[in-house]
């Protein structure tokens, strides 16, 4: 969800820029699948008010994720669409099981704005996620143990010098959910 919110912020910026230059803008995600369509726009109202309990959750699991997963497979897909598709390739459904929790999480992520994301970080999404990790650890959840300080990440990236399309071996990836080899996209 952080990724989709940040992508929406960046797309709004690109759209304004293209409009200012009287250029054309091609959105990578079509309505109603854009963040501003289903989280803050008419689609959310339609789902939650007109279709009842569970409809937003069903939309995310049964429509949004399959759409995003297959986005890169469409004819003439842009590089951005292919990356989005790759990110959602293994995502079957949201880990939130209740619509109330999902809507609360979406509202929290929506509060992220361009001004609240520091340019100091290479990956602004990680900045938001890093804010959650320590609190996960405090609640006796294993999420906190995976926090790597930003300075350590910078040293690793400077040392390894990852390149797009190349594979990097990560001997520290110990959890079964993570591979010890990472392809850079």
Say what the pTM is: 0.61
How does pLDDT run across 143-170, given as a tens digit for each residue? 444 556 667 777 888 888 888 878 777 6
Kindly report whether the peptide bond that precedes residue 32 is cis, defined as omega within 30 degrees of 0: yes
SS3 of residue 118 by DSSP:
coil
Question: Which two structure tokens, joined as six digits, stand for 90?
Answer: 């293994």
Distance from C-alpha of 154 to C-alpha of 77, rounded to nearest angstrom = 32
Distance from C-alpha of 23 to C-alpha of 15, rounded to nearest angstrom = 9
Distance from C-alpha of 146 to C-alpha of 150, rounded to nearest angstrom = 12
Which CATH number fits the domain 1-116, given the four candidates 3.40.190.10, 3.40.50.150, 3.40.50.300, 1.20.1260.30?
Answer: 1.20.1260.30
Q: How many residues does the chain have?
A: 185
Give 105's Cβ-side CA count (13 Å radius).
17
How does pLDDT run across 37-93, given as a tens digit for each residue? 899 888 888 887 777 778 889 999 999 999 999 998 988 888 889 888 888 888 888
């Amino acid at each position: 969800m952080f990724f989709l919110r940040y992508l929406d912020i960046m797309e709004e910026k690109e759209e304004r820029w293209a409009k200012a230059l009287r250029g054309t803008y091609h959105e990578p995600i079509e309505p109603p699948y854009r963040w501003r369509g289903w989280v803050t726009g008419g689609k959310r109202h339609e789902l939650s008010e007109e279709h009842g309990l569970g409809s937003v959750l069903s939309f995310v699991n049964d429509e949004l994720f399959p759409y995003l997963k297959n986005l890169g497979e469409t004819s003439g897909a842009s590089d951005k669409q292919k990356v989005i598709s790759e990110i959602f390739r293994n995502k079957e459904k949201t880990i939130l099981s209740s619509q109330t929790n999902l809507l609360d999480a979406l509202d929290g992520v929506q509060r992220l704005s361009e001004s609240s994301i520091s340019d100091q970080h290479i990956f602004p999404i990680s900045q938001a996620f890093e804010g959650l990790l320590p609190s996960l650890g405090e609640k006796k959840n294993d999420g906190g143990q995976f926090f790597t300080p930003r300075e350590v990440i910078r040293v690793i990236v400077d040392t390894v010098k990852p390149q797009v399309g190349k594979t990097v071996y990560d001997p520290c990836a110990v959890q079964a959910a993570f591979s010890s080899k990472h392809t850079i996209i």
